[in-house]
Amino acid sequence: MMFIQYKILFILCSLRHIILCDDIEIDLTSYNFQTNKTEFIEYANITEDNTRILVTNIDPSVEFFIIQVHSYVKVLTLSYTPTIQLQSHVNGTNIGLYWDRSVGLENDIGGVSFYCIHNMSSGESLKILLAIHVYGKHDPIPGGCNLSFETMIAPYQKISYTDSTIEVASQPPSRRKSSCNNNDRVQVDMYHMFLSENDPNETNYFTGIANMMTVERIKKNGRRVHKTDYAKYKIFYNLYRGTGEIFAVIATDVGGSSAYVPAASFGCDLSKWDADCAGPGKIVCMGLLLFGFVMCIAGHRLFKMSLFVLGFGLGQLVGSIFVNSGVLVTVFSILSGAIWVFLWIKLGVPLLSISLTFFFASTILISTVFYLGFAVNDLFGNDLVFWTTYACVFLSILLISSAFAPRSHILALSLIGSYCAIVAINYHSGGNLQYIFINTLRRINVAGFNRVIVDPPIQVKDIQHIATWIALFSLGYFVQSRWQRGAPPFPSTEYRMLRS
């Protein structure tokens, strides 16, 4: 009989171990407002399906705290209970839960327990970043006025993305012991920070998360999002595929402030980096580099070639807007290029032909201004204002340049060619200068893109490549201008020569 009891006890203990596994104990004795030490942070490796996080010795000055768990790729569950129950857990890679002193402590342990749940493979070890931030009675509660997320109070953010945008959603904060109807005094500010371009390194990812955890570090390292009249708690950011981006929210009330759990996205599937996140192959980049360099150095001399390529590009632009089939877009683009060459051979009107070049050159100029953030304000968020400005700039460039068409054409071709060449180099190295042009295409194709935060990750390699772009543009203009000396302004067409 005694043997059976011991056997039953052994089985129960074994089951308890499977559910709870190895505990992670966090002692908050020294974390209070007298010591000005309010953040606990450490890395941990979990090896079991369910890990209990035991928080003990919570100082009386702590009114509430936010516990958060971050993983690199694996989706975790953070729960108040050892088994998943309704409104007691949250799933994701950047997750957190709220604890309030009014909830009280667990009597048997003098602390409070949370559970990190994940289906672990045999022998698997998962690295997590674990943090707790303690707050006082004057600090607002992140996500305290939750309307749609899983838990009653939601201090975390939710991220989803499409091919063009990243959506970051959060819930309104609340004041301590106050109704959500009396919440107007709480100010909310959104921030974001880019990681290194084309860098899926796990260590840098966790470092970026840690750098956007507290109010002070968010203000120091993050970029504050320009305020708009659109939805405050659902913000759309421009997607820069393969470049990690950390998102943070600060809630500020009179006498205190608090930070939401930071969230991260690369705009792609990290588990399929080469297929979903990396840039194009070397052949594509080499082709674009060769084409760009030739057009920059000799585009005016190779007039018909330039016309065909730019006509092909125009066909791609128009076709991508109205046609869904890639084959049809390619056929339409070839026809577009051939038509522009035919018009030159048949009519031989320089102003008509070079207007195509000025169209692309003015697009690159306006897109660069838009990319660098000079047009980031509510005025240019209006599509009518934006496209009217675009049309005015294009017509101004066309009218002014027509007075000295050959030189202007060389200048425009040097700009287009140097941009294509530099984009090939920048894209292959993981930069984002290709979005100078892509952002304008998204403004055309993506509904509501005028509300998107475009703010780009201009980093060291981008600055270096922009400087190289300026140098190559200057070189192209100089070389083509030298070749043009003593030559006719534009080449004669075969049709006019035969007619003569």
> What pLDDT, in 10s, does the model give residues 68-118?
999 998 999 999 998 888 888 999 999 999 998 877 666 556 688 999 998
What is the band of 20 on the pLDDT scale with cuts at 50, 70, 90? very low
What is the band of 429 on the pLDDT scale with cuts at 50, 70, 90? confident
Q: Which two tokens stand for residue 173?
A: 């904060």
User: pLDDT of 284-315, one tens digit each?
Assistant: 788 889 989 999 998 888 888 999 999 999 99
What is the band of 376 on the pLDDT scale with cuts at 50, 70, 90? low
Query: What percent of the chain has a predicted confidence (pLDDT) above 90?
Result: 44
What is the band of 445 on the pLDDT scale with cuts at 50, 70, 90? confident
What is the band of 194 on the pLDDT scale with cuts at 50, 70, 90? very high
> Distance between CA atoms of 172 and 145, rounded to whole angstroms?
5
Residue 374 has pLDDT above 90, yes or no: no
Residue 129 has pLDDT above 80, yes or no: yes
Strand ranges in 176-325 using DSSP code E only, listed in sequence order? 187-194, 223-224, 234-238, 245-253, 256-259, 263-265
Average confidence score pLDDT of the chain: 85
Residue 189 has pLDDT above 70, yes or no: yes
CA angle 181, 233, 66 (to 5 degrees): 80
What is the band of 205 on the pLDDT scale with cuts at 50, 70, 90? very high
Torsion of CA 229, 181, 234, 114, to 10 degrees: 150
| pLDDT mean over 30-44 | 86
Q: Which pLDDT does position 149 carry in this prediction?
A: 92
> Distance between CA atoms of 380 and 363, rounded to whole angstroms?
16
8 A C-beta contact, residue 438 and residue 452: no
On the 0-12 / 13-18 / 19+ scale of CB atoms within 10 A, 338 is middle
- Domains defined for the chain, CATH in brackets: 20-274 (2.60.40.10), 279-499 (no CATH)
SS3 category, 189: strand
Q: Which pLDDT does position 19 carry in this prediction?
A: 35
